[in-house]
Chains A and B, each alone.
Chain A
Amino acid sequence: MKTMRERWSKISRALHFRSGLNDDLSDEMQAHLDLMTTENMERGMTPDEARAAARRQFGNLTRTQENAREAWQFPRLETILQDIRYALRGIRKSPSFSLIVILTLALGIGANTAIFSVVYSVLLRPLPYPHGERLVWLGESTAKAEGISITWINFEHWRHDSDSFENMAAFNGTDLTLTGRGDAVLTHDWLVTSSFFQLTGAKPALGRFFAEGDDKLGAAPTAVATAECWQRRLGGDPNIVGESVVLDGMPYQIIGVLNPGFQFLTRSVDFYLPLGRAAGASHKRSDHGSMRAVGLLKPGTTMTQARTNLDAIMERLALSDPGPEDDHRAYAAYFTEVMAGDVRPTLVVLMGAVGLVLIIACANVASLLLVRSRARAREIAIRVAIGAGRTRLVRQLLTENLVIAAIGGVFGLLLAGWCLRMLILIGPRDIPRLSEATLDLPVLLFAAVISVAVGLLAAVAPVLNAGKVDLTTALKEGSPTSGTCKRGQAFRSTLVIAEIAITLMLAFASGLLVRSLIAAQHADPGFDPRHLLAIELQLPESRYKSDDSVRQYYGQLSQSLRAEPGVEDVGLVMCPPGAGDCGDYWYSILEKPTPARDDVPLSLFNRVDANYFRVARVRLIAGRNFNDSDRAGGSRVTLINEQLSHQEWSDPRLALGQHLKVGGPYVEGPTIEIVGVVANVSQMGLDGEPMPTFYYPFSQKPDSAMVVTMRTTGDPAQSMNAARRQVAALDRNVPIQSLRTAEDWLGATLKRRRFATLLLGVFGVLAIILAAVGIYGVLNYWVGARQREIAIRLAVGACPSTILRWAALHAAGLAAFGIVLGAIGAWSASRWLQSLVFGVKADSPIMMLLAGVVVLAIAALAASVPVLRAMHTDAVRNLHEA
């Protein structure tokens, strides 16, 4: 210990380069005193008198020296070091107190840091592209929908005419079948313009990227492979550049391989192909596919300027090249925001919740420090008495708190690192960039900032108190608890009220989410997902060009699967429940008044065969199902879902026989007769809102990408092998995209909700524990401070039950106040939860009542120990000790 202290003092002396100044100052002051002493002696005083008089005349030597030193505006390094040393000594001296404080802080800071690193990674971190912060996602907008696909012609005009962007690139996802290299595999590819790689800053590992010439209509087909595809599918061949791959029957020359690790959106990609080669043939402004674009804003250009600029181009085009979409405008949003998408509200709520936990932790620490500062009133009084200035005292108390907060912060970081690994492990895959969350510099800064903030905040009360120490009382009265001032008590009560209020808010929010999760899990999906297997297929277009070949393939597959033992029935659907939005389009009803151009309604569309609704057990509400008479070339028919029917008619039966115009009155499209109405299914997931949908019969509108659903008699997993076998037997060039049970498919839609609910639940429990500790601590102190008063009251004849009532009333008052405040807070905050709540109202009074009861019970439990302690005060012993 000794050697350590020596080393420490050496370090501090090395740091404290002004010890020379110190010595010089004291020499100078000594000389000053000597001069005065000499003069005094010349006036006839004795040497002792003269010296004493000189000291008196000079004033406070030490203070003068300190002030003089501080005139040099160096950081007061040595005082800070001294304070830190003192603080560390204090921490060592009361280990249990320090442990509780540090642990509380570590919990609060750790949880906040972990969540912040997720928020930072998902919402805030610039994208890993050059100037990622200026990258903008571009699409078109209509009065009804924002960010729909851009057409090639519009994109070309934007790229050439806009002066808000440095560069622009369009991209379009596609899936092509790779043949000629072992089994046929379905590859995921991006069609991109040649500017794409400049914009995203990608570098080739081999060969080159597309030149403008490769990106033109009629150019020879070329391809760039990703590093992963090159390794997995092309055998890592170093001479691959110049060779060909066959995609959907067409040979593409490989011109380059990307560096490993390059990623665009969350999709895993095999090949990049030039977009303009095919899209360049487009000649209509309304020729929509699913193309989107990214643009790089010029530095200093605002989003509003860019939007105005693109809108002006669209307005000009509407005049020079009029068409059905003259009302379309541009959609532009920062890429980071678009990437985060609908995760934002969830993360905002989680960040808010974890922030509230931090406030509770902070309140606990503040109340603990306050108790300790009262216990230290005597020490502080002595220091004031021997000349410590108020600022000096405050600085020292602050340093002590900051040291404790820093230690808490370090432990918090360790905890955060651990929590983060858990979060990434259990977090749903579809949260973009979640897996990239690490404790990097901005996160460390955040942790440091909240540690300092917590240290300062928790120190406010003790520091304010320290300045107000009443010297005489503090020095006279020996007992540390005798100096309870009214103000300190009021402050502690406020802390308890705040803790209860915040806990109620968190309990309410987690209750709502848990209730929503239960509701979602038990939501009626509109079909029977048990014993239902789904095979997702995509027929390679090169082999299945005609509708007839597609119909024939699926017909044969259905038949052979139906013949398998354990398979009851087989049906086809393009977009199974839980798969989300596979496409929407305008529609209108011919028999109803024509809607205005801006009011044409949108509906999802889907394709099913005649068996599907029976296989999936979707209830038919009115009319008939599709049947074999709905043939290609026959009169065109459709089934609509309950939601669409409800949107248009008061009774589903009224819909029958009416005609649906696909595309609405202003866009070309077929007119089809409504022959039936079916129940809603959970298309957007179990917790999704029902969306209007119309169904085409597969026979009249086949699609190469279908999901084959099989109703099995036993465990559907047992039929998986049969399914694989039959698909391979029919055509081994058809890859299976996915094979899973409908329950898996649906359950996956709740992953994100489970994640959010779990986290909020953990925060709720954490808040309750911390608040219970806080309530216990404050009430215990309250009783402790009144021990003598209680003893006297008992001694003069009060019943213990009176004491009990008195203490319990005090506790109940605090709890009631907190609960009322918390209820108001929870109610006003409930709109933030709106987007996360399902099957229950965000301001549900029952949930509020439940949360209130839980919090009250916890508060009562925490308060019971100190309150009972008050009742069992041993009057005689207590008074004797006094």
Chain B
Amino acid sequence: MSTVDDPRKSLEFLQGTLEVLILRCLQAAPNHAYGVSQYLEHQSEYEFLVDNGSLYPALQRLLQRRWITSQWKKSPNGRRAKYYRLTPLGRRQLVAAKSKWMRFVEAMARVLAPQR
């Protein structure tokens, strides 16, 4: 690796991470697709840039697995939008995935930047 990571470029999602992050976002509150993308960008301090081309398929996959459900509702500013909410199954899934990813992150950190 000769190139150093460019901090101005946003991070790409690793395989399977976007789904977990969506679940985490919906745990806070039901939200619509745009809301989810804003939440993720804001929470990651704009390290993540959410591409709609990935977000929508990911939402469909979660629907398919019955980890989330959707419903058309009025948004606070009076517009209609499709809201997604976590199902009990999704909640359990999130707990499992969260501990797995935390372990993963810590392990990565231990290897990449060992504290001597």
Contacts and interface: CB of A to CB of B under 8 A. Distances in A.
A58 B55 CA distance: 11
A58 B52 contact: yes
A387 to B, nearest CB: 12
Nearest to A54: B34
A67 B57 contact: yes
B56 A64 contact: yes
Interface string B41-79: 000000000011100111111001000000000010101
Identify which of A27, A36, A67, A73 gathers the most chain B CB atoms within 10 Å of its CB.
A67
Given A28-B33, A72-B64, A35 B81 contact: yes
Identify which of A35, A38, A63, A69 gathers the most chain B CB atoms within 10 Å of its CB.
A35
B53 A59 contact: yes
A65 interface: yes
A60 B53 CA distance: 7
A70 B56 CA distance: 10
A34 interface: yes
B61 A71 contact: yes
B85 interface: no
B82 interface: yes
A63 to B, nearest CB: 6
B24 interface: no
A789 to B, nearest CB: 45
A766 to B, nearest CB: 50
B79 A35 contact: yes
B56 A68 contact: yes
A65 B57 CA distance: 8
A63 B82 CA distance: 20
Interface in A21-39: 24-25, 27-29, 31-32, 34-36, 38
B42 to A, nearest CB: 13
A34 B33 CA distance: 12
A59 B60 contact: no
Nearest to B58: A71
Contact of A64 (B34, B52, B61): B52
B80 interface: yes
Nearest to B60: A71
B52 to A, nearest CB: 5
Contact of B56 (A31, A36, A65): A65
B53 A63 contact: yes
B33 to A, nearest CB: 6
A66 to B, nearest CB: 9
A68 B34 CA distance: 15
A357 to B, nearest CB: 46
A28 B82 contact: yes
A59 B79 contact: no
Contact of A32 (B32, B53, B64, B77): B32
A34 B77 CA distance: 11
Nearest to A32: B34
Contacts of A73: 64
Contacts of A24: 82
Contact of A68 (B51, B57, B82): B57
B14 to A, nearest CB: 18
A68 B79 contact: no
A47 to B, nearest CB: 15
Contacts of A63: 53
Nearest to B82: A28
Nearest to B53: A64
A65 B60 CA distance: 11
A32 B77 CA distance: 13
B34 A72 contact: no
Contacts of B51: 59
B81 A31 contact: yes
A73 B52 CA distance: 19
B52 A59 contact: yes
B88 to A, nearest CB: 22
9 contacts: A28-B81, A31-B32, A38-B79, A67-B53, A68-B56, A68-B59, A70-B57, A71-B58, A73-B64
Given A38-B77, A60-B53, 20 more contacts: A25-B56, A31-B79, A32-B32, A32-B34, A35-B34, A35-B79, A38-B79, A64-B56, A64-B57, A65-B56, A67-B56, A67-B57, A68-B56, A68-B57, A68-B59, A68-B60, A69-B60, A70-B57, A71-B61, A72-B60
Interface of A: 24-25, 27-29, 31-32, 34-36, 38, 58-60, 63-65, 67-73
